[in-house]
Structures are given as structure tokens and as C-alpha cells.
Chains A and B, each alone.
Chain A
């Protein structure tokens, strides 16, 4: 099982600031099959980034993903009020999906 570890657990920032979220895998992620999701209470996860760096349809360009192998990053260039939420990384390169434990981005 490819274990994903996200850091930090919580990020306290103000609107307009830059957010940098990390996701580290215990094994190399096949073909950069790494996705990032945003989740708000009572909602399903919303796909932001797939294949490590490709934005999903309709996702604003303030969201960007980077990385390969075992180290991946989600960057939100300028936080908008609606961006405060929990973010998960996911690897889907093997038959068994795995998820990070989540990073909560909260208003400072």
C-alpha cells in the first residue's frame, strides 16, 4: 500500500495569502497519477488537480499542482474566502487507491 502523508495538518492563513500544501508518498506514484481534492462540510470531494499538475475543468488558475515521484505540492496562489476547506491528495496509479489524511486550510 502506498501511504500518503500530508503536511501540515492545519494551515492558518488570511485571504489573499499563498497556501502551500505537501503530499509525500511512501512509494513512487506511477505515472504521476496523483490528484488533489477540496472538500467542504456535507459535500463530496471536488477534483482540483489530476496527473499531478493538470487542472480539472472549471478550476481557477490560482490552484496549481506540481511534483513527481514521491513528493507533490498543491499551491493556492491567493486565497479566496471560498478556498477555506479541507484538501486531500490521492494516488490512483495502482489498483488500490490511497488518500492522504487531509490538510485543513482555515482562516487566521
Chain B
């Protein structure tokens, strides 16, 4: 079964950008969409968007349009999510999750604070 390993916690200042990575353990990386979901402290799960690993095509939630960029590097089976113009309410745990198997990464805490 595919496992997803995410990059470590980040602390950013307001207005900065953050880039989170998600590495898949198997060569089936291109077989399914990769989604990104976030969870603010004490809150529920919020879908941010998805990327088609084969083509790089993306679909973003309207809320994040213009601030989020999802990319991938198929040579190393890794997906990336970059969020720009960070605000304090972007403080959250960010998860990648693979469609098909519904496998999730362990999460990456992003703290936005001055």
C-alpha cells in the first residue's frame, strides 16, 4: 500500500509563503489524484485542491484560488503544495491524501506568526 510522508513543521511570518512536500512510497504515484486538505486547530477538515500527477493539471477550491499552487515531481514521486500571502488564520495542519486508496500523509503543521 502506498504510504505518504510529508515534510516537517514550518513557522512563517504573515505575508510569506510555505511549500509542503508529500512523498509517495511506491511507483504508482501517477495512478491517482493527489489531494490537499487542511485542518485549523480544533476545526474540521477543509479541502484545498488536487493535482493529477500524470499531467500536472490542478483543481483548486475557490477559497484558495490565486494563493495556492500544487505541483509535482514524478521523478521522485513527490507532490507539493505552496500557499502564499500567509495569514494567521492559515495556521493549520496540512495533509496530502491520495485518491483511490484514500491514504493520508501524517500532516505538516504550518504556524503563521509574527
Contact = CB atoms under 8 A, between A and B. Distances in A.
B46 A99 contact: yes
B18 interface: no
Given A92-B99, A95-B50, A44 B104 contact: yes
B35 A97 contact: yes
A65 interface: no
Interface in A65-98: 88, 90, 92, 95-98
By size class, the interface of chain B is 10 to 19
A88 B35 contact: no
Interface residues of A, number: 18
A48 to B, nearest CB: 10
Contacts, number: 39
Nearest to A44: B104
Given A44-B95, A44-B107, A57-B1, A99 B45 contact: yes
A90 B1 CA distance: 21
Contacts of B68: none
18 contacts: A35-B102, A44-B95, A44-B105, A45-B45, A45-B95, A47-B104, A88-B44, A88-B45, A90-B45, A95-B59, A96-B59, A97-B37, A97-B47, A97-B50, A99-B37, A99-B45, A99-B46, A99-B47
Q: Give 5 nearest A-B pairs by CB, closest first.
A: A99-B45, A97-B47, A44-B104, A47-B102, A101-B44
